[in-house]
Amino acid sequence: MSKLTVLTAKEAIEDFEKTGWLKDRQKGSHVTLIKEGANVVQTVPLHKEINKGLLRSLIRKATHTMDEFIDLFKL
């Protein structure tokens, strides 16, 4: 299993948008992402760095494996 790197919120949102997630709304410092056909909503905090644990959770909710996500975006 490859290691995750620390991403900024902007980088994480851009990576999820490349896999079909769209910005739905923003309230304060949190951006909500939706995807057609998905039963979950992603909420990404607009922090300078996204914690690796939170990033791992977001990737799982997006139904990707860690290796798929890392290979897809060369993290």
> What are the sequence ranges of the domains in the chain?
9-73
The arrangement of secondary structure in 9-73, i.e. its CATH architecture, is 2-Layer Sandwich (3.30)
Q: What does the H/E/C string look like for 17-74?
A: HHCCCEEEEEECCEEEEECCCCCCCEEEECCCCECHHHHHHHHHHCCCCHHHHHHHHC
pLDDT tens for the chain, residues 1 to 75: 557 778 899 998 998 998 899 999 999 999 999 999 888 999 999 999 998 889 889 988 887 777 877 777 665
pTM of the complete model:
0.82
Question: DSSP class of residue 7?
Answer: B
Q: Identify the H or E element spanning 34.
A: strand 30-34
- Torsion of the alpha carbons at 48, 51, 56 and 60, rounded to the nearest 10: -60
